[in-house]
A and B are shown apart, each in its own frame.
Chain A
Amino acid sequence: MKVKIKSWRGVAVWKWIANDDNCGICRNGFDGCCPDCKMPGDECPLVWGQCSHCFHIHCIMKWLNSQNVHQLCPMCRQEWKFKE
């Protein structure tokens, strides 16, 4: 007998490759979304700072916009620079 696979449909979950599970700002999971979004993933992506900390883009942008003098990472208080 020979088994021929004609098609394979699998199930997988996607995850961000990040060194933490939750966004430090909204405390929701990275694989979830920030409180202002409805759909995770494409619509609510993560961004990394040069300090290697990452957040939901909407969360960090909101934080940075509220800082008028220095823009610091909410985690390590270093100056926030987006990782290229």
Chain B
Amino acid sequence: MAIEKLDYCWSYLTENYAKKAQTVADCDRVNEAFVVLKRNDFLDYYKEWYFEAFRERFANTVIPCFWQKLPQSTLPRDLSAIIHHSDFSLQSANDACSKLFEAVAYLNDEFNDSAKNVFVESLFEFLDNESLTSFQSRLRSLLKALILSNIHLHFNDYVLLTYCCGFCLFRHLRAQEKHSSAGNRMIDDDDEADSEAESNADAKCILCDGWIEGQISEEVYFAEDGEKELCKCQRTMNLFIEMNSQLKELDLLEVVNEDAVASVTHSFIEKKIREKCQGNFDVLCIKSLEDWVRVTIVGWLEIVYDKENKQMTKNSEERLIHFMYETYAQIRTDQMFDIIVEYPESEPALEDLKECLQKCHGFRQKVIKSLKDSFEIRLLHPGVATNDILTAYIQAIKSLRVLDPSGVILQLVCDPVKKYLKSRDDTVRCIITALTDENSELIPELVKGAPQSVEDGTCQSDDEYMADNWQNWQPDPVDAANVAFSSKSIRSSDIVSILVNIYESKDLFVEEYQRLLAQKFLSNFDCNVDHERRNLELLTLRFGESDLHACEVMLQDMTSSKRLDNRINSGEIEAHHFKKFPIKCLVLSEQFWPEKFGLQSNDEASKIKLPSDVEEAIDTYTKAFETIKPSRTLFWTPFLGSVELELEFKDRKLSFTVTPIHACIIYQFQEKKSWLISELSQSISVPTQVLRRKISYWQNRGILKEVKSDKFILVEDIGQTDDAENQADKMNVEEEYCAYDEDSFDGDIQPGSSRDVGEDKFRIYWSFIENMLTNLNSLPLERIHTMLQMFALQGTNSNELSVQSLRQFLDSKVRDQKLIFSGGLYRLPS
């Protein structure tokens, strides 16, 4: 009897547990049934059975059905593109989101049906060895295990897409809310980007493309056919919130969304940072970014996790802020080279990065490595002009001092630059030129002058430095240990000193300065001595008097020569009775001028035989000098100087300013219209190699012509000079010979040298050539010449441009590293 009753009750309880609708009567029957089970001590069996039945139902029916609701086909194909696209559109994700909402709701319903029904509740009224909640949580764990053990690969995509939607909705709705509540655009800057997008929203929602209620005019609403879909952002958002609470209810929330939340927050933070700092270095943004993370991202997390779960969001907040700093640092680190180039406009970016470096450990190393690498790639190779490297070096010094006042980064990063600069032979010259150029940025640096550290050996040691500045002392950063020389020089001294210290010795600079000064004076007799004097005074403050003594004497020579010229040419000196043309002289104190100018050399090359008029002029000038300065005399350096000539042809007059050698050559053609180079060499005592190079000056101007090898004739009529090009091929061979000669004779120092004048003319063509090579990559000499003649030379006398002189010009550009010449082709350095 009892058994029958028990059997009946058992059957009732096991067969009807899953029935949906239950009435009060049912409840009573269930209660009764449990009474019977309890009486027979069968409650535990039923509990176990129920658990197993739950498992079976979910494993075989509910969960497969859950997965069925999430077919792969609903997912948009290019998922990652949608998520990472900057203006995320809800439409593409809408279907998938709805499916997930639905599936979760289904799962939740099923669970509630199975775990929160009358059967279970009644059961636990009778049972006292386990509470209902404990049983339910066991059921949740079971559900979790079942889901996870059977998870579909694309499920994560569903989740990711949905959370992405969720975030966009949140941002969108919040901005909308702000927009409407603030009315007159009193919107925080931190959400600038978001709200800006909203501001142009009129009748349609930009996120879901639905019509916005209240904004849509009746006309529009009724004018078009079909149903108007309204903006469903708020509705979707509500569903999203609901889904989260359902998942939470099922204890699935964190398991399901952990990865998605992380990738959504991270990718939006990164997106935000990129928006803020793409190519934009002149605004401080780290603080506003931090605020943005705290308000927008954390605000969203609070919605996802529910506000009660403070600990959860608090932990994430700190993690996200850290992630934000790291991401910012990473992005800025990648931009470091451009930031340096744009300093001082980029100072805000540096300040931001500086703050990041204090927060993110290990990033100093990344910054150092990244900068070193980009210097390596972008600066330290032969394609870059020394001036550009120097500019970058100076920029790096200035900007890295902002980034890291200890100077350690600067020193570590710039060490290779310094070494590389040291290996280039024109570095000194570039620095000196920059230092003495009137328009140079370095002039203010020079004027600033705190010259201590240039003076070798007087550089303060660390100890002294600390003794003087102990109150401001800061410990070195850890990586200071990597700095080979612990001297503070590059870290604390001024820019000019740092540049000078590239060579760790000022002597080279002083020497080079002297050389450049000499070159300047000898090539331009009228150059601005006062300007040079001011420069010299500034340099003297820095380098000390004794080292620049020679330069002072050189300047003095310049001014006293002018005085002397005036006096001698005034006619008051009897000895100087020469009146045919004015003769002036730069009288130099030999010992104080650089040796290599050969002022008093006995070189064969330096003994030119000058025209007799000139010899006479020189003699009388010397005599006049001897009367003015008793017991002293002059030794002339005939190949230095500058001569104004006028060539008078049958049909025209031409004026030139040339070096004495050029003058002597053309002078010879007065007597005799045609010369063999060997005869000419003998006649004016100039070696043939030098002579040939000098003759080319007159050839380029169509005055002389090589009619056959080694034989030059004077061109009296313009009409004769049409076959310049024919000669070009022949020239090419000889020219290489000349280029060699140039090195040995140092033609560059010739005052008023032909090359200077020639290059002036070519400067006009240079932009044409550059464009040509940009478009056509690489070209042979002849092509460049023809094209120039076609385009650049229209309307000008094409005689002006011979192939040979073009080649000289291009070669000079190659020397200046503006062009590359290989395999017979010219091209621009990449």
Name A residues whose Cβ lies closer than 8 Å to a Cβ of B. Answer: 1-18, 29, 31-32, 38-42, 46
Interface: B645 (CB within 8 A)? yes
Contact A4–B646 (Cβ < 8 Å) = yes
**A55, chain B: closest CB distance, angstroms:** 13
Report chain B residues within 8 Å CB of A17: 631-633
Report chain A residues within 8 Å CB of B718: none
Contact B631–A10 (Cβ < 8 Å) = no
The verdict on A12 contacting B637 (CB below 8 Å), with A3-B666, A31-B590 known, is yes
Contact A38–B643 (Cβ < 8 Å) = no
Could you tell me the distance between the alpha carbons of A5 and B522 in the complex, rounded to whole angstroms? 20
Name B residues whose Cβ lies closer than 8 Å to a Cβ of A. Answer: 522, 525, 549, 552-553, 556, 560, 580-593, 599-600, 611, 613-614, 617-618, 621-622, 625, 629, 631-638, 640-649, 655, 660, 663, 666-667, 669-670, 714, 716
Contact B636–A10 (Cβ < 8 Å) = yes
Contact A10–B589 (Cβ < 8 Å) = no
Closest to A10 in B: B641
Could you tell me the distance between the alpha carbons of A29 and B592 in the complex, rounded to whole angstroms? 11
Question: Within the complex, which residue of B582, B629, B634 is in contact with A13, where a contact is CB–CB below 8 Å?
Answer: B634
Contact B629–A10 (Cβ < 8 Å) = no
Report chain B residues within 8 Å CB of A4: 645-648
Contact A40–B591 (Cβ < 8 Å) = yes
Contact B666–A6 (Cβ < 8 Å) = no
Could you tell me the distance between the alpha carbons of A32 and B550 in the complex, rounded to whole angstroms? 10
Other contacts beyond A14-B629, A15-B590, A32-B592: 18, CB < 8 A: A1-B647, A2-B647, A3-B669, A8-B584, A8-B644, A10-B640, A10-B641, A10-B660, A11-B585, A11-B588, A11-B640, A12-B585, A13-B587, A13-B637, A14-B588, A14-B590, A14-B632, A14-B633
**B409, chain A: closest CB distance, angstroms:** 45
Contact B646–A9 (Cβ < 8 Å) = no
Could you tell me the distance between the alpha carbons of A10 and B640 in the complex, rounded to whole angstroms? 6
Report chain A residues within 8 Å CB of B637: 10-13
Could you tell me the distance between the alpha carbons of A41 and B635 in the complex, rounded to whole angstroms? 15
Question: Within the complex, which residue of A6, A11, A31 is in contact with B646, where a contact is CB–CB below 8 Å?
Answer: A6
**B111, chain A: closest CB distance, angstroms:** 101
Report chain B residues within 8 Å CB of A8: 581-584, 614, 617, 641, 643-644, 660, 663
Contact B591–A39 (Cβ < 8 Å) = no
Could you tell me the distance between the alpha carbons of A31 and B553 in the complex, rounded to whole angstroms? 12
Report chain A residues within 8 Å CB of B663: 3, 5, 8
Contact B638–A13 (Cβ < 8 Å) = no
Closest to B644 in A: A6
Could you tell me the distance between the alpha carbons of A27 and B591 in the complex, rounded to whole angstroms? 14
Contact B625–A7 (Cβ < 8 Å) = no
Contact A38–B591 (Cβ < 8 Å) = no
Could you tell me the distance between the alpha carbons of A38 and B546 in the complex, rounded to whole angstroms? 10
Contact A1–B641 (Cβ < 8 Å) = no
Could you tell me the distance between the alpha carbons of A28 and B622 in the complex, rounded to whole angstroms? 25
Contact A14–B634 (Cβ < 8 Å) = yes
Could you tell me the distance between the alpha carbons of A41 and B582 in the complex, rounded to whole angstroms? 25
**A56, chain B: closest CB distance, angstroms:** 13
The verdict on A6 contacting B636 (CB below 8 Å), with A13-B587, A32-B591 known, is no
Question: Within the complex, which residue of B613, B631, B634, B669 is in contact with A12, where a contact is CB–CB below 8 Å?
Answer: B634
Contact A5–B636 (Cβ < 8 Å) = no
Closest to A47 in B: B631
Report chain B residues within 8 Å CB of A9: 525, 583-586, 641-643
Report chain B residues within 8 Å CB of A16: 631-632
22 pairs, A vs B, C-beta closer than 8 Å: A1-B647, A1-B648, A3-B670, A5-B613, A8-B660, A10-B585, A10-B586, A12-B587, A12-B637, A13-B588, A13-B599, A13-B600, A13-B635, A14-B589, A14-B634, A15-B632, A17-B631, A29-B591, A32-B591, A38-B552, A38-B553, A40-B589
**B100, chain A: closest CB distance, angstroms:** 91
**A13, chain B: closest CB distance, angstroms:** 4
**B568, chain A: closest CB distance, angstroms:** 12
The verdict on A46 contacting B591 (CB below 8 Å), with A6-B581, A11-B640 known, is no
Contact B582–A7 (Cβ < 8 Å) = yes
Report chain A residues within 8 Å CB of B660: 8, 10
Report chain A residues within 8 Å CB of B643: 5, 7-9
Could you tell me the distance between the alpha carbons of A7 and B588 in the complex, rounded to whole angstroms? 20
Contact A7–B590 (Cβ < 8 Å) = no
Report chain B residues within 8 Å CB of A38: 549, 552-553
**B779, chain A: closest CB distance, angstroms:** 38
Could you tell me the distance between the alpha carbons of A11 and B639 in the complex, rounded to whole angstroms? 8
Contact A10–B584 (Cβ < 8 Å) = yes
Could you tell me the distance between the alpha carbons of A74 and B590 in the complex, rounded to whole angstroms? 27
Closest to B631 in A: A17
Could you tell me the distance between the alpha carbons of A23 and B621 in the complex, rounded to whole angstroms? 28
Question: Within the complex, which residue of A7, A14, A18, A29 is in contact with B583, where a contact is CB–CB below 8 Å?
Answer: A7
Report chain A residues within 8 Å CB of B670: 1-3
Could you tell me the distance between the alpha carbons of A26 and B393 in the complex, rounded to whole angstroms? 45
Question: Within the complex, which residue of B582, B584, B669 is in contact with A1, where a contact is CB–CB below 8 Å?
Answer: B669
**A47, chain B: closest CB distance, angstroms:** 10
A-B pairs, top 3 by smallest CB distance, nearest first, are: A11-B640, A13-B590, A6-B644
Report chain A residues within 8 Å CB of B645: 3-6
Could you tell me the distance between the alpha carbons of A66 and B27 in the complex, rounded to whole angstroms? 136
The verdict on A39 contacting B585 (CB below 8 Å), with A1-B648, A32-B591 known, is no
The verdict on A12 contacting B591 (CB below 8 Å), with A17-B631, A38-B552 known, is no
Contact A5–B586 (Cβ < 8 Å) = no
**A18, chain B: closest CB distance, angstroms:** 8
Closest to B583 in A: A8
**B559, chain A: closest CB distance, angstroms:** 11
The verdict on A11 contacting B522 (CB below 8 Å), with A38-B552, A42-B629 known, is yes
Report chain B residues within 8 Å CB of A32: 589, 591-592
Could you tell me the distance between the alpha carbons of A31 and B622 in the complex, rounded to whole angstroms? 17
**B184, chain A: closest CB distance, angstroms:** 75
Contact B638–A10 (Cβ < 8 Å) = yes
Closest to B673 in A: A1
Could you tell me the distance between the alpha carbons of A3 and B670 in the complex, rounded to whole angstroms? 7
**A59, chain B: closest CB distance, angstroms:** 16
Contact A40–B644 (Cβ < 8 Å) = no
Contact B631–A11 (Cβ < 8 Å) = no
Report chain A residues within 8 Å CB of B666: 3
Contact A15–B641 (Cβ < 8 Å) = no
**B648, chain A: closest CB distance, angstroms:** 4
Could you tell me the distance between the alpha carbons of A31 and B525 in the complex, rounded to whole angstroms? 23
**A46, chain B: closest CB distance, angstroms:** 7
Report chain A residues within 8 Å CB of B586: 9-12
**B449, chain A: closest CB distance, angstroms:** 22
Could you tell me the distance between the alpha carbons of A16 and B631 in the complex, rounded to whole angstroms? 6
Report chain B residues within 8 Å CB of A12: 585-588, 622, 634-637
Give the interface centre of A3, A14, A16 by most chain B CB atoms within 10 Å: A14
Could you tell me the distance between the alpha carbons of A29 and B550 in the complex, rounded to whole angstroms? 14
**A3, chain B: closest CB distance, angstroms:** 5
Contact A13–B589 (Cβ < 8 Å) = yes
Report chain B residues within 8 Å CB of A29: 591
Report chain B residues within 8 Å CB of A46: 631
Closest to A39 in B: B556
Report chain A residues within 8 Å CB of B560: 41-42
**A10, chain B: closest CB distance, angstroms:** 4
Could you tell me the distance between the alpha carbons of A40 and B586 in the complex, rounded to whole angstroms? 16
Closest to A18 in B: B631
Contact B641–A11 (Cβ < 8 Å) = yes
**B651, chain A: closest CB distance, angstroms:** 11
Could you tell me the distance between the alpha carbons of A45 and B633 in the complex, rounded to whole angstroms? 13
Report chain A residues within 8 Å CB of B591: 29, 31-32, 40
The verdict on A5 contacting B644 (CB below 8 Å), with A12-B585, A13-B634, A17-B632 known, is yes
Closest to B663 in A: A5
**A37, chain B: closest CB distance, angstroms:** 10
**B803, chain A: closest CB distance, angstroms:** 26
**A82, chain B: closest CB distance, angstroms:** 13
Report chain A residues within 8 Å CB of B592: 32, 40
**B695, chain A: closest CB distance, angstroms:** 15
Give the interface centre of A9, A31, A32, A38 by most chain B CB atoms within 10 Å: A9
